[in-house]
Chains A and B, each alone.
Chain A
Amino acid sequence: MPDSHYRPVVSQWIGFRTLLYKEILRFWKVALQTILAPVLNALLFLLIFSHVLDRHVTVYGDIGYTTFLVPGLVMMSLLQNAFANSSSSLIQSKITGNIIFMLLPPIAYHEFYGAYVLACILRGLFVGIGVLAVSLPFVDLAFAHPWWILCFAVLGGATLGTLGLIAGIWADKFDQLSAFQNFLIMPLTMLSGVFFSIHSLPKLWQDVSHANPFFFMIDGFRYGFFGQSDVSPWLSLVVVSVFFVVLAGLTLVMLARGYKLRA
């Protein structure tokens, strides 16, 4: 602006904070679709599975099936919505063209990454807390290790938020994103032990499950409630952390190079 005009105070952090605020506002404005709908879906899963299986299955000795199911459902909803947040936001911005408003300002690629992923974690937590809240009247749930619960919730949300960013950057069309979600995220989530303990599976499928990083997210998260899990929570923490760091590194490289964002 010409020198005669007032010049605003410019702070680098405000760009990051504004992008985070915008991403939160974006899902909050349509909370019926982004928060309440996934909570209702999880509640339906809970009602149906608990009605069918509660009297027939116990896990970890004396834990009823419905009680066992709740942490898995909470984490599944959290992960799926963390993924949906960044992936849908980015693909919509790319397809409508309004991503230009985020690419023109002086926002660094790591700030871009941080803002998107933090918003994903928050949406995941909102949905997870919602699922937990509607489930509690049906089960007597213990919170054996709350810090493990929080640790895996945040790490899981960050990991899926990062995967969502990768999908959103890579996809050029909604059906490509849908393929990513239906052929990768959904099977990995469903086969991660949300609905069953992997000890109930044949040996081969137990081994296959150990190759699924989502299994470690669910198992570690469940440990926080019951103090029992299929594998050590420390092993789960290491596996999920390594998975997250690799994905975060890949995403940061994509963003730094402007892959599919800057021609």
Chain B
Amino acid sequence: MSLPAIRIESVTKRYGALQALDGVSLEVAQGEFFGLLGPNGAGKTTLISALSGLVRPTSGTLEVMGHDVVTDYRCARLKLGVVPQELVFDPFFSVRELLRIQSGYFGIRSNDDWIDEILVSLDLRAKAEANMRTLSGGMKRRVLVAQALVHRPPVIVLDEPTAGVDVELRQGLWQFIRKLNRDGHTIVLTTHYLEEAEQLCGRIAMLKAGRIVALDRTDDLLRRFATHSLRVRLSNPDCVPGLGGSVEVGNWASFRFDTYADVEPLLARLRQSGAGVEEIELGEPDLERVFVEVMNRA
């Protein structure tokens, strides 16, 4: 069995009275696209910061590609690329200067070929010589991604990379990140856009108050926690409350059910009640519902 890309063992972090992380343990396999979800203040950024050495854990161990992030920090940091949540930049330098400097920090002297490749991939080529101050927010976000990739890390952590980013850039960014994942990179993503996490992540951990409250394959989480939905437009929706559904605007009503086998009996009851079914929509289980369910139970 190959070495896990990330191994986190019983990690706690305390800031005074605040328990930011409370015994977090998880492993991410090499090549995985892993989602780290949770409400604000759940501990996602603290966990990422502990992994990248920005935060020192109170107890527990964290490893990147088998390298302890404290005792073997040089190797661990070489294997890790982090795209921070905040839109931070150094106003003194151009995009290319910044990427060359970042390469140097990671001990790489001549990196222009790879820098050019990243600039093209992230559609930043035209802005290569522009000062960071002159870039739009979206462009700065792309530079953050580029900076995380200059040393070709096998593990990439993206902390809410699409916060405040327009649709076009978001799609372009995900296309690029997907390609990196296909090429073998391990991707760890935190996001509040649960639809993105559902589409991208093969496995998901959910954090609440510094603890992992769910950790499973995305498909299994959807199967375990989410229910299907049936929306119907009725000519007479009066019977809906009696049948366990809820009435919405425009004579629409919605019902939740566990398996598709429940649909036919439900439609039969509606017909018997004289509701007059005019239109039908079937809804798949979604991660947002899973998230709400898990957080309510935890």
Mark A residues whose CB is within 8 Å of B: 1-15, 17-19, 21-22, 25-26, 29-30, 93, 96-98, 100-108, 258, 262-263
B104 within 8 A of A: yes
**Chain A residues touching B, majority SS:** loop
A2/B74 in contact, CB under 8 A: no
Given contacts A8-B151, A96-B90, 9 further A-B contacts (CB under 8 A): A2-B183, A5-B152, A12-B107, A15-B104, A30-B92, A100-B54, A101-B102, A105-B77, A105-B106
Q: How many residues of B contact A (CB 8 A)?
A: 42
B105/A15 in contact, CB under 8 A: yes
B56 within 8 A of A: yes
**Chain B residues touching A, majority SS:** loop
CB-CB nearest in chain B for A103: B54
Nearest Cβ in chain A — how far from B50, in angstroms? 9
B56/A9 in contact, CB under 8 A: no
Which of A3, A17, A104 has the largest count of B CB atoms less than 10 A from its CB? A104
Mark B residues whose CB is within 8 Å of A: 15, 49, 52-56, 73-75, 77-78, 80, 82, 84, 86, 88-93, 97, 101-109, 111, 114, 147, 151-154, 183-185
Nearest Cβ in chain A — how far from B87, in angstroms? 9
A22/B152 in contact, CB under 8 A: no
Knowing A104-B77, A106-B78, A262-B56 are in contact, say whether A1-B153 is a contact too (CB < 8 A).
yes
A263/B111 in contact, CB under 8 A: no
B54/A263 in contact, CB under 8 A: yes
B55/A262 in contact, CB under 8 A: yes
What is the total of A-B residue contacts with beta carbons within 8 Å? 113
CB-CB nearest in chain A for B56: A262
What are the residues of chain B within 8 A of A258 when measuring CB–CB? 56
B184/A4 in contact, CB under 8 A: yes
B153/A262 in contact, CB under 8 A: no
What are the residues of chain B within 8 A of A105 when measuring CB–CB? 77, 102, 105-106, 151
A106/B92 in contact, CB under 8 A: no
Q: Which of A1, A10, A103 contacts B53 (CB 8 A)?
A: A103
Nearest Cβ in chain B — how far from A262, in angstroms? 6
A102/B106 in contact, CB under 8 A: no
A3 to B109, CA, bound (A): 20
Nearest Cβ in chain A — how far from B22, in angstroms? 17
CB-CB nearest in chain A for B52: A104
What are the residues of chain A within 8 A of B89 when measuring CB–CB? 96, 98
B74/A101 in contact, CB under 8 A: no
B105/A102 in contact, CB under 8 A: yes
B101/A98 in contact, CB under 8 A: no
What are the residues of chain A within 8 A of B108 when measuring CB–CB? 8-10, 14
A7 to B114, CA, bound (A): 10
A14 to B103, CA, bound (A): 9
A19 to B82, CA, bound (A): 19
CB-CB nearest in chain A for B102: A101
What are the residues of chain B within 8 A of A3 when measuring CB–CB? 184
Knowing A2-B184, A106-B73 are in contact, say whether A21-B86 is a contact too (CB < 8 A).
no
Knowing A2-B184, A5-B183 are in contact, say whether A11-B107 is a contact too (CB < 8 A).
yes
